A and B are shown apart, each in its own frame.
Chain A
Amino acid sequence: MSGIAEAPGDDAGIVAAIRDAAAAGEPLAVSGNGGKRAMLRPVRAARGLSTRNLSGIVFHSPAELVLSARAGTPLAVIEAALAEHGQHLIAEPPDLGRLLGAAAPPTLGGMVAANLSGPRRISGGAMRDHVLGVRAVNGEGTVIRSGGKVLKNVTGLDLCKLLAGSHGTLAVMTEITLKVLPAPEATMTLVLPGLDAAQGVAALAAALGSPFGVSGAAYLPAAAAARVPALDPADTGTGAGVAVVRLENFAPSVAYRAGRLAEALAGFGAPRQIEDDGSRALWRAIRDAVPLPVAETDAVWRVSVRPSAAPGLVDALAATGARWFLDWGGGLVWIAAPAEAATHRVVTAATAAAMGAWMLLRAPEALSAGIDVLPPPPAVLARLTRRVKTAFDPRGILNPGRMYAGI
């Protein structure tokens, strides 16, 4: 991206910038703080439009579990405001700054536009599940609203869902309303060392299939586990991997459930316990993909599969020299490997064989500009993708090519 980069302070400024670009027929690279610019495909645009100056919490009603903020509000600001009332963001969105080489803090708009969710995805849902309402400006420069400020709403088509995860290709979100929840009083992690991937995923499945409300379930191979200071070297030094399972609840419940869960997992060994602050640090690391050993020139993939397919999938990567770890009970596979087209083919083929979905999260432009970064949709879905894009952005000026070449 080069040339003019506008960062208006109000909706009117966003509208004007988009109308101007539409009139000129020039594409716009849309961003918040730009921290996800290295994600997916590069956008070739003469103009930039940032929401970073649309900042601030507009509304927070703790007793109604609702928060509205302008799209450029840093996530940390929102998290701090929620914490004052003992609340948190349900989907536990990650800060991928380390992976994406970005120092700027992630914004609410960027996080929703990328629909990135952290470890609590397995119990609390995805970022997109908690978007109650959106105000946005479409590719014609028209302000549109969808959803609202209440927890339940099935009035009309839920455009919030389409905008979440659309990476700025459909409309520029200017204000977002989220459902929020009370943060747990206590948290504890059970650590099961000495497991291979198949055993680890089986342990996580047993934990997630228990009635104890597991809210985090990850498997870290030895190399990944060694990167997490919150884990005890006695657990990570075995050469085998580590399964970690999180409980979040009221303190007496956490204590009770940890005991019951340990019984349910007895076949996988006697778990060590990590309490509150240590547990929080561990899951913050997993959330932000810290366990993934990444070289600067590596490509990074994020693969979503049914958990039981994960061990087979990582086996299929063995010859590529890929490093990986599993979150979401095995349902999220983080992969880092040398940025080569051949490796990309192995990852995508293994994911397709497991009937999952892959994302080439980051790669050097030389690779990402020339290949698919998301599974190419079959013909009918490709047509629907183009038509939905046209329905929002008929001139194709918003982040063209970000998800798919030519869209």
Chain B
Amino acid sequence: MTVQPEPKASVLARCGQIVTGLREAAGVGAVIADLVSLRAYETDGLPAYRQTPLAVVLPETTEQVAAVLAFCQANGVRVVPRGAGTSLSGGALPLADAVVIGLMRMNRVLAIDYADRVATVQAGVTNLAISGAVGGEGFFYAPDPSSQLACMIGGNIAMNSGGAHCLKYGVTANNVLGLTIVTMAGEIVTLGGAHLDAAGYDWLGILTGSEGQLAIVTEVTVRILRSPEGARAMLAAFASNEVAGAAVAAIIGSGVIPVALEFMDRPAIHACEAFAHAGYPLDAEAMLIVEVEGSEAEQDALLARLAAIIRRFDPLSLRLAATAEESAAIWKGRKGAFGAIGRISPDYLCMDGVIPTSELPAVLGRIGEMSREYGLAVANIFHAGDGNLHPLIMFDANDAASMAKAEEFGAEILKLCVAVGGCLTGEHGVGIEKRDLMPVQFSADDLDQQRRIKSAFDPDWLLNPSKVFPLGAPPVLEAA
């Protein structure tokens, strides 16, 4: 289990005073300090880690966030920002001496501009609610993390969230034009706006994916896109991971970029089929879901082109959806994957490494070997077009040894991803989960440069500390 820093005794001792100060900053109704209510905030989407915070504040305005942060900075109090608490890397895990700032009450859509194709929303608006707000006019917000029904745009900014369709539409960083942020010192800053190229250093770029360590985001302006005329999927089953991997390379190499290209291995197929009855091919070692967009005729043409490529790889079966309903049936199993795994295993870890797509067969082969070595089942789901691999390691959280083995297995998979030229995380973030693996991917100099940027924004390292970077004394910048 990951080591956390000692709580500051001076802060714990002043708990009552701090709660009073928070109430003055954000209003009595915004502060939670009783142990029972605090328990709701002790974990996020990585429930293996739990810690009750000192207090929780639920501000409703940017100004309240600023007042709370200014108070915390002045009193040396650590702060953990939180959206919907869906982080799979423990990004919203509290510390015992930290104040959690939850943005869920900042849930208003502020402005929608179809002519300029932008929407401005508060940080606590859910990802799907943005598409919901603009869907009536035929628009949508592109990044679509699996948790999009619950997860909030503020958290999407913090983690630079992706999704199944980012092969075509990009990740969060590619779709954000403006932010209102509050620094740890309580200063409110607006960055960018409704225009494409913001001035100066790329603040939007460095903030997006900074895991809540540089500032707290309170408002977001995103690009909205006109929805395509339609979309349809195809399902292809293969006799081996190698052949499926070769088909992926052939598809990308052909010049067709499908809007989604999802890969599932045999355990994932079986788990999802048992759960969703989507008609998945149980005789296959691997399957691909390929989705294309456009008019009916364009979909037909693209699916035919892709089917011709896939047929070169002797698929066991090939199912082209003829209608949107058939397409939804193909997606049904994939979209229920996490629930499906949850049904066959009491607990699972969802890993998030990225590999060069050419390494897929070798990496899946090695993961299979490791699964036998550790005695833990694993199912692999893979955003194949962009190399983002999600091995789901099944274990029993009530058995400490099983959990320790699962964590070790997960770490070994991520080290393998780095060893073949990939990275530790493609969309879930480092958080607490992968913090101590950072030296596997980065040299001490690389990490030191990143840590100096953290210091530039938050000199005292009060904002979401003990995540992302292995513990150590924060670098001090020369006066500037």
Which A residues form the contact surface with B (CB < 8 A)?
61-66, 86, 115, 117, 121-122, 125-126, 128-129, 138, 142-146, 148-162, 164-166, 170, 181-183, 185, 202, 205, 208-211, 213, 250, 252-253, 256, 260, 304-308, 328, 331-332, 355-359, 374-375, 377-378, 380-381, 383-392, 394, 403
Q: Is the CB of B255 within 8 A of A154?
A: no
Nearest CB in chain A: distance from B443 CB, A? 7
Which secondary structure characterizes the binding site on chain A? mixed
Q: Is the CB of B116 within 8 A of A152?
A: no
User: For chains A and B in complex, what number of residue pairs have CB atoms within 8 angstroms?
Assistant: 266
A331 partner residues in chain B, CB cutoff 8 A:
116, 195-196
The contact string, 1 if C-beta is below 8 Å from chain A, for chain B 165-188, is 011001101100000000100010
13 A–B contacts from the bound complex (CB under 8 Å): A66-B356, A121-B196, A126-B196, A126-B197, A144-B446, A151-B386, A153-B354, A158-B160, A159-B450, A161-B173, A162-B202, A355-B193, A391-B452
The verdict on B146 contacting chain A, using a C-beta distance below 8 Å, is no
Nearest CB in chain A: distance from B308 CB, A? 14
B4 partner residues in chain A, CB cutoff 8 A:
none
Q: Is the CB of B195 within 8 A of A161?
A: no
A159 partner residues in chain B, CB cutoff 8 A:
206, 449-450, 453
Given A86-B255, A306-B113, A388-B201, A152-B456 contact (CB < 8 Å) = no
Given A144-B445, A156-B447, A211-B196 contact (CB < 8 Å) = no
Which secondary structure characterizes the binding site on chain B? loop
Separation of A389 and B480 alpha carbons in the complex (Å) = 9
Smallest CB-CB A-B distances: 4 pairs = A161-B205, A152-B426, A390-B480, A387-B456
Q: Is the CB of A155 within 8 A of B195?
A: no
For B203, give its contact among A129, A375, A381, A390 (CB under 8 Å): A381
Q: Which one of B6-14, B73-81, B221-229, B266-274 contacts A?
A: B221-229
Separation of A305 and B115 alpha carbons in the complex (Å) = 13
Interface residues of B in 382-427 (CB under 8 A from A): 383, 385-388, 421-427
Separation of A122 and B452 alpha carbons in the complex (Å) = 33
Q: Is the CB of B355 within 8 A of A150?
A: yes
Q: Is the CB of A304 within 8 A of B196?
A: yes
Q: Which one of B42-50, B93-101, B291-299, B319-327 contacts A?
A: B291-299
Q: Is the CB of A154 within 8 A of B429?
A: yes
Q: Chain B interface: which size bin?
A: 35 or more
Given A125-B170, A375-B200, A387-B456, A154-B209 contact (CB < 8 Å) = yes
Given A150-B356, A380-B189, A205-B116 contact (CB < 8 Å) = yes
Separation of A381 and B206 alpha carbons in the complex (Å) = 13
The verdict on B199 contacting chain A, using a C-beta distance below 8 Å, is yes
Closest chain B residue to A150, Cβ basis: B354
B218 partner residues in chain A, CB cutoff 8 A:
none
A208 partner residues in chain B, CB cutoff 8 A:
117, 226
Nearest CB in chain A: distance from B444 CB, A? 10
Closest chain A residue to B254, Cβ basis: A182
Separation of A384 and B441 alpha carbons in the complex (Å) = 27
Separation of A128 and B204 alpha carbons in the complex (Å) = 11
The contact string, 1 if C-beta is below 8 Å from chain A, for chain B 425-439, is 111111000100010
The verdict on B275 contacting chain A, using a C-beta distance below 8 Å, is no
For A252, give its contact among B199, B301, B354 (CB under 8 Å): B301
B423 partner residues in chain A, CB cutoff 8 A:
148, 150, 153, 155
Separation of A386 and B427 alpha carbons in the complex (Å) = 30
Q: Is the CB of A308 within 8 A of B115?
A: yes
The verdict on B257 contacting chain A, using a C-beta distance below 8 Å, is yes
Separation of A1 and B288 alpha carbons in the complex (Å) = 57
Q: Is the CB of B426 within 8 A of A153?
A: yes
Separation of A181 and B250 alpha carbons in the complex (Å) = 14
Closest chain B residue to A132, Cβ basis: B423
B226 partner residues in chain A, CB cutoff 8 A:
208-211
Q: Is the CB of A356 within 8 A of B195?
A: yes
